[in-house]
Amino acid sequence: MLVAVTPAGPIHGRRVAVTGLGALSCAGVGVNELWGALLRATAPPSKRIGDFDASHLGGAKELRRFDPFTLYALMAADEAWRQSGLHGPLEDAGSIVTTGIGGLQTVLEQYRVLSDRGADRVSPFMVPMMMPNAATAAVSMRFGLGGPCETVTTACAAGTHAIGNGARLVASGRSTVVVVGGAEAVLVPIAEAGFRNMTALSNNEFSRPFDVNRNGFVMGEGAGILVLEEWEHAHARGATILAEVIGAASTADAHHITAPDPTGRGAIRCMELALADADVAPSEVSHINAHGTSTPLNDLAEAIAVRHVFGTNPPPVTSIKGHLGHSLAAAGALEGVASVKTLLEQVIPPTAGTVDVDPEIGLDVVTTKARALEVDVVLSNSFGFGGHNGSVVFRRYRA
């Protein structure tokens, strides 16, 4: 069960069930498309989200008032909510849907309007469309969630932080249900130029997490959503429980605005705190869904941290960024979805693009093909710019 670590020891809270999953990614619409793509050894050729039908979310006029990142979040949330079988309004239910950058496409579009047509022509919807909290607000309104409605903007760790923060709301008794996740839609020239000029992007547009030839990440976009629910509430209404969130943690490197602490100090503390929160020993972790961005410094720092925590026999590791690219705040949320699917299917996806694991990494990186394995506990990691670290621990549900 989820616990809060205090100087006096763990204080047990209410158990946290996962009862819904939703995804929108370059693999297509829905969790099934995502999972099918992750099981293949090769990645989708584009990391952009293709055309999709969102007419079930509203009319054309209404949909035009959403920045793409909000629309992505709504698409994934609708799938997760339908799977959960819940019905709103729910006064104590919350939503924590995150983004790293927010409505960047709206900002760029309205800046062009300002430049070409003047200030009077700027849309009155610009501000509510560009706000980082627009997605979580839209989710709360769509399903009638009257509890906490919050946004975490902790760069690439935000999706994982959303899961951890939402789980704490449920465990503490503040909310019975929380819809959590992240969404991002920043595949635009200015964002790509900014990342490229800081030498973060791959120079050949190829993601190779933990590979000896890795040279940067490939940008992606998408959304991942999970419905978290108090365990007894889910049981009482006959919900299908997909997995359990049993621990989470958040730390800071306090080191550099973009580079990780090369010793892995912050990541080590984050993983150790998450495992302590879950009351799980490192030897009980079956699999790690890694941050694995494909950058030389980040992958090495993460590997150093994992080896420190797990010793000479760490569990199998995979990075789904090899398939999906790096979707910033959506990444941790999509990785949370993939972690739950790994527990359900008892299969670890391969790390697409990775052929020769860097000897300095020293981890059992799953490559080439999916690996069938008995998986009981998954640790999912996210480590973002600014030194934001997030880890969340999922456990397999056994009836």
Among the listed residues 26, 156, 270, 388, the single catalytic one is 156
Q: How far is the C-alpha of 366 from the C-alpha of 371, rounded, in Å? A: 7
Question: Is 270 assigned a catalytic role?
Answer: no
Per-residue DSSP letter, 283:
G
- Exposure class string for 351-388: b at 16+ Cβ within 10 A, else e: bbbbeebbeebbbbbbbeebbeeebebbbbbbbbbebb
Question: Is 190 exposed, middle or buried, given 0-12, 13-18 or 19+ CB atoms closer than 10 A?
Answer: exposed
223: which strand partners? Answer: 24, 183
Among the listed residues 26, 149, 161, 291, the single catalytic one is 291
In 3D space, the residue among 161, 87, 80 whose CA is nearest the CA of residue 380 turns out to be: 161
Q: How far is the C-alpha of 246 from the C-alpha of 16, rounded, in Å? A: 7
Residue 189 CB partners (closer than 8 Å, separation 6+): none
Question: Is 308 assigned a catalytic role?
Answer: no
| Cβ pair 351, 367 in contact under 8 A | yes
Question: Is 291 assigned a catalytic role?
Answer: yes
Residues assigned a catalytic role: 156, 291, 326
